[in-house]
Amino acid sequence: MDSRDTRLPSPVEANPRCPSCLSTDIRVHAASRKTGRIINECRVCGSHNLANPPTSEDLNESLDIDRDEFAAWTERTRTHVIERSHTATLQRLAGMLDSSSDLSLFDIGAGAGNFLSLARDAGFQPAGNDVSPGAVVLAKERYDIDMHLGDLSVIDDAGKHDAVTMWCVLAHVTDGDQLLSGALEILKPGGVLFLQTPRWSAMDTIGMRLSDLTRGRATRITDRRIAEHHMTLHSTASMRRKLERAGFEIVAIEPRARYSLTTSDYLESLGVPAALRNRLSRMIDTFVERDWFFRNVLDVYARKPS
């Protein structure tokens, strides 16, 4: 038998540092036996980070999604929840900005363009980008919105936008600092950043305990919450530190319960058997509607200093 452990997707840092507050006081948790993923917990700010993230080549490959694949994915999302939070966010952004002139909004990782279409309805000039070719095709096809294909490095919009938004983008990139400085750069002075990002919740604490107690055997929850698709789960404190380091002024950081996959799809992704799924998803839906369920995301508003 080969003595080397080849399960790990990339080497683990010997002396890890928190990507939010830069502390080196890190607890390294047991590796998942299923995926080899390791979670680093910052004891200072409470951020949880994937210790062995995918390489940027693997990441780019996984985001190379064509039109039909992307369209199939949009079918699985909980449209009414998303629209409601999109509309509330646009109202709040408009209230924070001087609306005497035409406001321009750039959505980073805009997907199929549904948020940009609502932004246009609300009076914003829409602009955005996505790294998946299928997303750019669908945004044109469904909403007649022209988006940039690629990350922020393909865009030359310095100081141009009143608002910049990111719906669940920050947790998907290996270099969050670079993404935030890109967002700061394309904002006008005094412009507002909104971002939604997954939050370390009581559900994750339970999942982490189970994984630690079983030395990485019971990892259903942690594998679902921290993996290639979510490399960081933030706390309020870690979000604050990260944004301040990037040069933003914090306006609000708010924990929320928001589940954008349908509950049934979410339970399926956690491996809950079909027989249980219907009853359980009705119960959870009631909790989510009343905001009683785990607050799984942070809504963040921050300003570029004028």
User: Site residues (CB under 5 A) for Zn ion?
Assistant: 18, 20-21, 23, 42, 44-45, 47
Least Cβ distance, residue 16 to Zn ion (angstroms): 10
Least Cβ distance, residue 191 to Zn ion (angstroms): 27
Are the CB atoms for 19 and 6 separated by under 8 Å?
Answer: no
Are the CB atoms for 126 and 55 separated by under 8 Å?
Answer: no
Q: At 199, give phi and psi (nearest 5°).
A: -115, 145
Residue 20: how many CA atoms within 13 Å on its side-chain side? 28
E-assigned strands of 168-278? 187-198, 232-233, 249-256
Nearer to Zn ion, 173 or 288 (CB): 173
Nearer to Zn ion, 106 or 200 (CB): 200
Least Cβ distance, residue 106 to Zn ion (angstroms): 28
Question: CA of 273: how far to CAs of 116, 219, 259, in Å?
Answer: 37, 16, 20
DSSP state of 154: G
Least Cβ distance, residue 52 to Zn ion (angstroms): 18
Nearer to Zn ion, 23 or 181 (CB): 23
The span from the CA of 58 to the CA of 41, in Å, is: 24
The Cβ of residue 49 has, within 10 Å, a number of other Cβ atoms equal to 24
Nearer to Zn ion, 148 or 240 (CB): 240
Least Cβ distance, residue 49 to Zn ion (angstroms): 9
Nearer to Zn ion, 161 or 242 (CB): 242
Least Cβ distance, residue 255 to Zn ion (angstroms): 17
Contacts of 276 (CB under 8 A, 6+ apart): 267
Nearer to Zn ion, 26 or 166 (CB): 26
The span from the CA of 278 to the CA of 80, in Å, is: 19
Least Cβ distance, residue 233 to Zn ion (angstroms): 12
The span from the CA of 237 to the CA of 245, in Å, is: 12
Nearer to Zn ion, 47 or 89 (CB): 47
136: which 2 tokens? 């750019």
Least Cβ distance, residue 242 to Zn ion (angstroms): 9
Q: At 99, give phi and psi (nearest 5°).
A: -95, 25
Nearer to Zn ion, 112 or 208 (CB): 208
In the numeric block, the tokens 């979670």 are attached to 39
The span from the CA of 246 to the CA of 238, in Å, is: 12
- According to DSSP, the β-strands at 124-130 and 148-149 are parallel
The span from the CA of 267 to the CA of 78, in Å, is: 14
